[in-house]
Amino acid sequence: MSTCSPGAAFLRAGSQDGLAQSLFALFASSLAISLVFAIIPLCHNVVVLAVVMAVAGLAMGCIDTISNMQLVKIYQKDSAIFLQALHFFVGFGALLSPLIADPFLSDTNCILSNSTANASSNLPHIRKSLVPHHPGNLSHYDLPMKGMVVTRVSYAFWIMALINLPVPIAVFLLLYKERMVPCWGGRSHPLLSADELAMEARPGDKDELSTPAQRPRAAAGHDDLLSCCQSRNFRGASYTYFAVHVTGALVLFMTDGIVGEYSGFVYSYAVEEPLAVVHKVAGYLPSLFWGFITLGRLISIPVSYRMKPATMVFINVVGVLITFLLLLIFSSSVVFLFVGTASLGLFLSSTFPSMLAYTEDILQYQGCATTVLVTGAGIGEMVLQLLVGSIIHDRGSYSFLVCGMIFGCLAFTFYAFLVFFHRMYPKPSPELDDASPDKAAVPDDTGQYQR
């Protein structure tokens, strides 16, 4: 009867622990989001609301990192298709949420008082005055601050909390099924039986050919949530190893930053001169943008099966650059603003999953690319919105497109550096590839999760 070698057993135990950590983190984060959405309508203090929103942001960041990391770990070279599917549902949720909230939003003031009628008529003027760049004087507009609150927007938050609730329930059922719940499941059983594990590890002596220093390297960066913080993973790494991480994160810093700033300020740009689009029409622009992001991610699922991630990223960054150039040239055309918004959504749609798959492929799934890239994208989405908002306020609405053009140029430049470092990155030798535990580890991980 075949037995599992010590190296394969070591790798498998680490993967089992990493899966349990990831599932517990997913359960806690998804449950926290449902609780946050249920609590938000009850927050009557801005400090309490800020704390609650911070908790929601932390939970969403955990879900984003873990889901991407586990898909890369499970499917590796086939992960591009699954990453595109994952991010399609992210975009679909972003498109669906406003539609759920819309029936509960009011076009009039939400506080009833003696002056409600006058206040409601002032709301369009106030919205116009709040547009960045030369805000008007709001002191002469009468808005009641005291009275009976008649808004129904709380129902939208509670509906979203209920819609999200099946997610933590499903994760908990998976934990229970795999006997990973400490107080209920008893001892955790392997996702592969002993016989199957022996078959996956055969020929069994391959692990003995590698040195002890090579064994933990087989899944470095993906074994658990904190493995990227361990200094042993960086020993002996070349400078190109770090350069690939940094340049990949900088590309997503720019592209995800463009997503955040464009969706956040395209309405403000449209209602200002020279376009002066009607407020109701301008309100369709963010929805159009997110709609085409969702459509683009759906299209990218079959496309990623035929096209390499590097090629898709190149098409995306070049498309973003050309779109912003045309938006600058036809800056006085309302029609082209809608066409450009749709085009920008299509090109930005698959950038994140394609870049993640490309970077992990360069690093042979042994680096910390998923964590680094998700962090870079999140920081870019936060920082560039603040930067563009302040520039629009000081320089006018036209600077909105200029900033997008600059960010697009930077994204293309960082992508060119990434391709350069890819060519310089050391390739694994065939002899080492055949003798290393990576060969045995890959099917072990894949079979372990697909069961």
**Token reading at 351:** 């950038």
Name the β-bridge partners of 112: 148
Name the β-bridge partners of 148: 112
Whether CATH 1.20.1250.20 fits 237-428: yes
- Element holding 91 (H helix, E strand): helix 79-101
**Token reading at 233:** 């993973």
pLDDT at 134: 43
pLDDT by residue, tens only, the chain of 451 residues: 444 444 443 334 445 567 788 888 899 999 999 999 999 988 888 899 999 999 998 998 888 888 888 888 888 778 778 888 888 888 888 777 777 777 776 655 555 555 544 544 444 544 444 444 444 444 444 445 555 555 677 888 899 899 999 999 999 888 888 777 776 655 555 544 444 444 444 444 444 434 343 333 444 455 555 555 555 566 667 888 889 999 999 999 999 999 999 998 998 899 888 888 888 888 888 889 989 998 998 999 899 888 999 999 999 999 999 999 999 999 889 999 999 999 999 999 999 889 988 988 888 877 677 888 888 998 998 899 999 999 998 888 888 999 999 999 999 999 999 999 999 887 765 544 444 434 434 444 444 434 3
- At CA 54, angle to CA 51 and CA 55, rounded to 5? 90
- Element holding 170 (H helix, E strand): helix 166-177
- At CA 413, angle to CA 64 and CA 402, rounded to 5? 85
Count of CB atoms situated within 10 Å of the CB of 312: 22
- 324/404 Cα distance (integer angstroms): 7
Instruction: Please state the length of the chain.
Output: 451
- 218/207 Cα distance (integer angstroms): 11
pTM recorded for the entire structure? 0.70
| Distance linking the first and last C-alpha atoms of the chain | 23
CB-facing half-sphere around the CA of 72: CA atoms within 13 A: 32
Query: Which among 355, 352, 346 has a CA at the least distance from the CA of 415?
Result: 355
Domain coordinates in residue numbering, the chain:
8-107+151-181, 237-428
pLDDT at 96: 79
* DSSP labels, 225-257: TTGGG-GGGGTT--HHHHHHHHHHHHHHHHHHH
- 384/309 Cα distance (integer angstroms): 25
- 431/428 Cα distance (integer angstroms): 9
CA dist 99 to 92, 93, 240, Å? 11, 10, 45
pLDDT at 416: 95
